[in-house]
Amino acid sequence: GAVVSQHPSRVICKSGTSVKIECRSLDFQATTMFWYRQFPKQSLMLMATSNEGSKATYEQGVEKDKFLINHASLTLSTLTVTSAHPEDSSFYICSASFKGSYNEQFFGPGTRLTVL
Amino acid sequence: AQSVAQPEDQVNVAEGNPLTVKCTYSVSGNPYLFWYVQYPNRGLQFLLKYITGDNLVKGSYGFEAEFNKSQTSFHLKKPSALVSDSALYFCAVRDMMGGNTPLVFGKGTRLSVIA
């Protein structure tokens, strides 16, 4: 149980285009979803926290207009990287939690974004 | 504020030998503590967690960790390392009273098990 999927697993795009990454909780209702970014050989940096039906809370230094997060349902959150640039290339990981899970987070497999 | 320290960037161990990956934490209240493992280009896989109860927690793949409140540590251990254990290991913490706030991660420790 408690499986989280991400799609796509890998995406390559041209500079200036927008890319949408989906995060789905497959067998539970995710009251909260988190988006992380990971640079090579570094730890996970939290980008934002989203609760279903409300606006995401972004961490300091994360541009809200560049990284659009939508948590439209209890099983789906999307991260859209708008007008992507090469410096946005990274590994993006989502996680989800639900009430009663001892606040444990269940992680998706990650999405590798490469911006040319 | 919550924080996690993994003092070692890299740990090398011979196959068959015991391994330890260190983690210390700081929270204002009581902690929830987690260990995750990450293989190249993959997401995080859950290994084990400490919520309450027994200080020695057993997890997946033969790993275990001991919660030490006085030393604010949660070191990951395995009695006999395998080459397949080579990966990046992350310790994470959150405050038990922190509501649904996200986990805070350490910087990670790369474990290399040599045959």
Nearest residue to A73 via CA among A36, A26, A106 = A26
Give the highest mean pLDDT range of A24-38, B55-69, B88-102. B55-69
Q: Please give the pLDDT value at position B43.
A: 81
Question: Please, what is the average pLDDT of chain B?
Answer: 91
CA angle B109, B43, A11 (to 5 degrees): 125
Q: Is the pLDDT of residue B99 over 80?
A: no
**Mutation to test the B interface, candidates A47, A107, A114, most B Cβ within 10 Å:** A107
- Range of lowest pLDDT (A56-60, B39-43, B61-65): B39-43
What pLDDT, on the 0 to 100 scale, is given for residue B97?
Answer: 64
Query: What is d(CA B47, CA B41) in angstroms, rounded to the nearest whole number?
Result: 18
pLDDT for position A40:
80
pLDDT of residue A102: 57
Total length of chain A: 116
Task: Report the alpha-carbon distance of residue A32 to residue A34 in Å, rounded.
Answer: 7
Is the Cβ pair B102, A34 closer than 8 Å? yes
Query: Where are the alpha helices (H) located in chain B, listed in sequence order?
Result: none
Count the Cβ atoms, other than its own, within 10 Å of residue B68: 12
In sequence order, what are the residues at sequence separation of 6 or more whose Cβ sits closer than 8 angstroms to the Cβ of residue A15? A84, A85, A86, A115, A116
CA distance A18 to A29: 28
Residues of B in contact with A37 (CB under 8 A): none
The residue of chain B nearest to residue A34, with distances taken between CA atoms, is: B102
Q: Quick one: CA dihedral A32, A37, A42, A46, positive or negative?
A: negative
Residues in chain A closer than 8 A to B41 (CB atoms): 91, 110, 112
Nearest CA in chain A to B87: A41
**Neighboring chain A residues of B102 at a CB cutoff of 8 Å:** 34, 46, 49, 95, 105
Nearest to A30 by CA among A76, A70, A93: A76
pLDDT of A63: 93
pLDDT band at A1 (very low <50, low <70, confident <90, very high): low
How far away is chain A from the Cα of B1, in angstroms, using its nearest Cα?
A: 14
Q: In this predicted structure, what is the pLDDT of residue B18? A: 97
Name the more confident of A79 and A30: A79
Q: Do A112 and B41 touch (CB under 8 A)?
A: yes
Distance CA A4, CA A79 (A): 15
Which pair of tokens denotes residue B57? 């927690």
Q: How many interface pairs between A and B have CB atoms less than 8 angstroms apart?
A: 54
Residue A104 has pLDDT above 90, yes or no: no
| Beta strand segments in B23-69, E | 24-26, 31-38, 44-50, 56-58, 64-68
C-beta of residue B3 within 8 angstroms of C-beta of residue B25: yes
So what's the pLDDT on residue A5?
Answer: 93
The CA distance from B100 to the nearest CA of chain A, in Å, is 6
For the CA atoms of chain B, what is the radius of gyration? Answer: 14
Given an 8 Å threshold on Cβ–Cβ distance, is A43 in contact with B98?
Answer: no
Strands A19-25 and A76-81: antiparallel
